[in-house]
Each structure stands twice: as structure tokens, then as C-alpha cells.
Structure 1
Amino acid sequence: MRWLILGAGSVGGYFGGRLQEAGADVTFLVRPGRAQLLREQGLVIESPDGAARLQPKLLPTGAAAGQPFDAVLLTCKAYDLDAAIAAVAPHLGSATAILPLLNGLLHLDRLEAAFGFERVLGGVCHISATLGPAGEIRHLDLPPRLVFGERAGGGSDRVRAIAADLAPAKFKSVPSEDILQEMWEKFTMLATLAGLTCLMRGNVGEIARAGGAGIARAMLNETSAVAAAAGHGPRDKFLEATAQRLTDPASTVQASMLRDLERGGPTEGAHILGDMVARGGNLSVPTPLIEAAACHVAVYEARRGARKEA
């Protein structure tokens, strides 16, 4: 298969790099600044699973269309989705599979509107990684995992073909026959983590030590109730592990949304917290704590927008 990876940051760079390392035909669609850095020093991965320095094939954004790719891996942030759609559109064929790894669920509607239901798979990734000061990808201690499948459920030839390409890479890849369940569970966890750490402006351990474990559990109850009302109630094992993760007094985990707030950048607040509140409202499920967190981030975004216009 010919793969197009939209983005070469901590997520796209890691999964795309490991795929290239395993022998797949991979091309990265990247902005000019990132492209220049990758030409100069290569795609660098630092990881407990082994370091790598690769010379990636690069396709600059805005480049003329050539032969369509077989699969596109979308790894952008939600607030960059419109630009990502425009960037990948010239490189798609009628049979190209689009595998998005964005957080939440709202992006599925936008991708379907742009490209049609049949082209868009469901997917989630689990990885703890960041970009270092020299642009290197630093994979931390969480084992990387990528789950994907047909949104209508069941298997398909293209899912099996993708699974065969991903299997040799240095991450766990899991074809799922119920990918929406996987996506809802991650959405539940992420909305709770983002709501908790952004509202309290601290990491999980700091909040737990300050007496906030009950708030964490109450937020998880809210998001889980929304998922259940939508027909994708989290499984018991997932809920138990998530509750433990969100109330661990020794944990230093915080949502990337909090890091975005602290650096003064754009956030996925509307895409994650706002969408969870909206879905709860549509399903008559009250979410007062998540609503408070969504309002908190929305006020930040409004102030940020006002500063940019000033």
C-alpha cells in the first residue's frame, strides 16, 4: 500500500516513521518549515522501543496531485482539520481509505461531508509522545497502540490490507469490528481528563492530593452516562482502569489541552468538551461539571481571540 501521513509531529511522525521503518511505502505531507527540518536532520525517533533516524519521503502542502494514495493517516489537531482536508483532497482516489486519529468524534461528520461515508474509517491511537527542542519525536513510557476499523462494524478487505501493512511496525495495531465503541471509550476518558485538569489547572496527582478524587469520579460518571445514552456505554474493565488512572495521587498525567492553555495556544475545547456537553444535552443527560470545564476553556478561547484581533 502507498501511505500518505498528514503531519510529522509526535503522533504522525511516530506511527508513520515506524511504518516506514518496517518497510512500508510512506510519504509525509508536511508544512514547509517542518519539511526543511526533516530534510536537514531526518525524522528522528527516541523511544524505549529503539531509536531511529529515517530519511522520509516528503510532499509539501499545496503540491500538485500525482498518483492517488491507497491510505491516508490524519494526525492533525481538530482546529487544523479544515486545512488538513484541503491539503489531502488532491491526493485521494475513489478507493483511498482515510484513517483519522483525531481525538473525539466530531471530526467524523466533517470528514464524511468532505469525502463521503465509505472513505472514512474510524481510528484511535494511544501514545505518550512529544516533540523535543530539535524537532525530534520523544516517545515516553506508554506503549503505543493504534486501533482502527470500519465505522459500520465488521471487517473488510481494506481493513485486512491495512492490518497487514501495520503488523510489522514497532507498535501494537488492532483491527476492530466495533471501532465506534473504542472511539467512545477514548472520548469518555479524554473529556474527563481534559475537563478535570483544565478546570483545576493541575495534573491528576495534584488534584487527587488536594482532595479532588471525588470530582474526577463525578466527571467520569457524567461522560460515561452520555456514552451509555448514545449506545456505547464504557465496559467495566475500562471504567475501572480509567477511574484508577484519574485518581492516582502519584500521577503526573495531564491533558494536552492544559498544556495548550498554559502556552497560550489554540485548544480542542469545543471539539472535546463542547461536543460532550452538546451530546449530553441532545440525549437529556446532565453534565454540569463537564459544562463548567467547557465554559472555562471557551472563555479562554474568547479572550485569546480578542487579543489576536487587538
Structure 2
Amino acid sequence: MRILIVGAGGTGGYFGGRLAEVGRDVTFLVRPERMKKLQSIGLSIHSPFGDAHIETPRLVTTDVLRSKFDLIILSCKAYDLSEAIRGFETAVGPDTTILPLLNGIAHLEILEEKFGPDRVVGGMCFISTALTIDGTIAHINDTHNLRFGERSGETTQRTEKIAESLANAGYDLTLSSKIMQDMWDKWLFITATAGMTCLMRSTVGDYVAAGAAPLALQLLDECTATARAEGFPPGADALGHIRRTITEAGSTLTTSMSRDIERNAPIESKQIVGDMLERAQQIISTPMLTTIYAHLKSYEARRERDSACRR
């Protein structure tokens, strides 16, 4: 199976690098500056599960992408989806399957509208990574799980083939019969953790010490009611895990969105919090989601103003 990984940053570089390490047919679609770096030093992974180095990863840029691929894995940030689509659309052939690993669920409708619903399967991953100054992919937690499946819940010939191509590559792979529920559960987890750590500009343990755990639970209640109304209520185990995570005293947990704010980078505010808020407002009062989204949009407005001043 010919696999195109859209992006070779933390997520795409990790899972794609693991696949390349065991000899799978993997090509990375990258920007020119990332290509230069990877051509110079190769693709390196530093992980508690073992380091890896791909001396000469197979790379391509949008301007020369002509081949068709069997599987396209999207690992870009949600705010880069439109640019990513323009970049990889020439690689979509009559039998191509698109597997997005983006946060939230809004991207599914965008991909369906562009390529048709039959091309798009559900997908998600749990991993925390960062690019170091020298371009190494640093795996900074002890989880590296990739889940995917037909959104209908069926197990089909194509998902079995995809699973065969992605399996036994040094990370945890799950062919899920409930991928949409999995995606919603992750969305609740991210909205609750990112929402609070961004609002409070702190770790979980710090805002718990400040007495803000009830606010975190109020936020989770708003998200949970939304998921139930949409037909994807979290199970007791998933909900219990999120509750414990967002109220754990002494926790040093932070989130990629809060780290992005600290380094004045773009954030997935609309795709994670904004979309949840829009759905929630149709059914319940949303004081926490409304406050958090206003906070994130204020950050983006300041960032845009500062950028305009520099131009």
C-alpha cells in the first residue's frame, strides 16, 4: 500500500517515521523548508519506546506531487486543513482513502464536501510530541495510539487492508468499530483540558490549587451535554478518566494549545472550542465554553494585530 503522510511534524513524522522504519511504502508531503531540514539530517525520533532515525525519508512537495496514493494520512493542524487539501488533492485517485488525525470533527464535513463521504474514514491518535530546535521529533509522553475505522462502525475490506499496512510498526494500532464515539470522547477530553489550561494559563495542578476544579467540572458538564445531544454520550470509563484528569491535585499536565499560546503560535480555537460552543448553545447555557472561547479569540485578535503592525 502506497501511503502519503501529509506533514512530517510531531504527529505525522512520528507515525510515518515508525512506518518507514519497518519498511512500509511511505512518502511525506512537506513544505520546502521542512524538506531541506529532512534532506540534511534525516528524520529522527526520540521516544521512551525507542529512538529511530530514517537517513533518507521519501519526501515530496506540493509543486511536484503527481502520483496517486492508496492511503493519505492527514496529520496537519485543523487550521491548516484548507491549505493541506490544496496540497494533496492531486494525489487522490479513484481508490484513495483519506484518514484524518485532526482534532474535533468539523474536518469530516469539509473533507466529505471536497472528496465525497465514501473516501473518508474516521481517525484519531493519542500522542504528545514536539519538534526540537534541531528538528528531532521528541515523544514526550508514554502513549502512542492510532485509531481508525469506518464511521458506520462496519469492518470492511479496505479498513482491514489499511490495518494490515499500519500494524506492527512500533506503536499501538486499533481498528475501531466505534470510531465516531472515540473521536467525540477525545474531543471532550481536549476541550476540557485545553480549555482550562488556556483559560487559567497554568497546569492542571496549579488551577486545582487555586480552587478552580469546580469550573473544570462545569466545563465538562457543558461538553458532556452536547455530546449526548449529538448522539455520542461518553461512557462511564471515559467520563471518569476526564474528570480525574481535570481535577487531579499536583498534576503537571498542560496541553499543546496552552504551549502554543505561550510561544505566540496559531491555535485550533475554532475547531476545538468554537465548534463545541456552537453545538452546545443550541441546547444549554454555556458560561464556561463562552468565556473560554472569548479568551482564545482575544488571544488571536492580539496576535493578528501584532502581526499587522510588523508588516
| TM-score (ref. length: structure 1) | 0.97
CA deviations over 1:148-168 (Å, ceiling 9, x no partner): 011122111111011111111
User: What does residue range 203-214 of structure 1 map to in structure 2 within 5 Å?
Assistant: 203-214=203-214
Q: Which residue of 2 aligns with 1:8?
A: 8
- After superposition, residues 48-67 of structure 1 pair within 5 angstroms as 48-54=48-54, 55-66=56-67
Q: In structure 1, what is the equivalent of residue 299 of structure 2? A: 300
Mapping of residues 197-276 of structure 1, within 5 Å = 197-276=197-276
Deviation for aligned residue 1:70: 0.3
What is residue 83 of structure 1 aligned with on the other side? 83
Q: Are the counterparts in 2 of residues 6 and 84 from structure 1 also a CA contact under 8 Å?
A: yes
Query: In structure 2, what is the Cα distance between the partners aligned to 1:74 and 1:199?
Result: 28
Q: Distance in 1 between matches of 2:307 and 2:46?
A: 35
Distance 1:307 1:137 in 2: 30
1:128 and 1:265 map into 2 onto residues whose CA distance is 17
8 Å contact kept, 2:129–2:137: yes
| Structure 2 equivalent of residue 175 of structure 1 | 175
Shift of 1:205: 1.1
SS in 1 for 2:63: coil
Amino acid at match of 1:285: I
**Distance in 1 separating the partners of 2:222 and 2:171:** 32
Determine the C-alpha separation between the residues in 1 that align with 2:12 and 2:115.
Answer: 21
CA contact (8 A) 2:6 2:76 kept: yes
Distance (Å, rounded) in 1 between the aligned partners of 2:62 and 2:33? 11
Deviations 1:258-297 (A, max 9, x none): 1121211211101111100001123x12221011100111
SS of structure 1 residue aligned to 2:98: strand
1:307 shift after superposition: 2.3
- Cα deviations across residues 188-212 of structure 1 (Å, max 9, x unaligned)? 1111111111111111111111111
Contact 1:188/1:220, CA 8 A, preserved across alignment: yes
CA distance in 2, matches of 1:115, 1:243: 37
SS of 1:53's equivalent in the other structure is strand
1:140 counterpart = 2:140 = yes
Q: Write the deviation string for residues 165-184 of structure 1: whole angstroms up to 9, x where unpaired.
A: 11111111001111110000
**How has the CA–CA distance of structure 1 residues 164 and 53 changed in structure 2, closer, same or farther, with 3 Å as cutoff?**
same
Q: Which runs of 4+ in 1 moved over 4 A?
A: none
Q: Is the 8 A contact 2:65 2:88 kept in 1?
A: no
Give 1:40 deviation, angstroms: 0.9
C-alpha contact 1:45 1:53 (8 A) present in aligned 2: yes
Contact (CA 8 Å) 2:100, 2:121: kept in 1 or not?
yes
Deviations 1:11-38 (A, max 9, x none): 0000000011122100000001111111
* TM-score relative to the length of structure 2: 0.97
- Residue type at the aligned position of 2:59: L
Shift of 1:214: 1.4
In structure 1, give the amino acid aligned to 2:243: A
CA contact (8 A) 1:32 1:61 kept: no
Question: Residue type of the partner of 2:182?
Answer: E
Q: Unaligned stretches of 5+ in structure 1?
A: none
Distance in 1 separating the partners of 2:169 and 2:243: 31
Alpha-carbon contact 2:3-2:27 (below 8 Å) kept? yes
> In the TM superposition, what is the alpha-carbon distance from 1:235 to its structure 2 partner?
0.7
Instruction: Choose 148-157 or 2-11, whichever is displaced more.
Output: 148-157
CA contact (8 A) 1:223 1:287 kept: no
Local SS of the residue matching 1:125:
strand
Decide which moves more: 300-309 or 260-269: 300-309
Distance 1:142 1:244 in 2: 18
Measure, in 1, the Cα distance between the counterparts of 2:115 and 2:226: 28
1:186 offset after TM fit, Å?
A: 0.5
SS of structure 1 residue aligned to 2:64: coil
RMSD: 1.1
Matched, 1:288 2:287: yes
SS of residue paired to 1:108? helix
Spell out, residue by residue over 1:48-74, the C-alpha distance to the aligned partner (whole angstroms, 9 max, x if none). 1111110210011221412x1000010
2: CA distance, partners of 1:18 / 1:148:
17
Matched residue SS, 1:248: coil
CA offsets 1:81-126 (integer angstroms, 9 cap, x no match): 1110000100110110100000001111111111110111110100
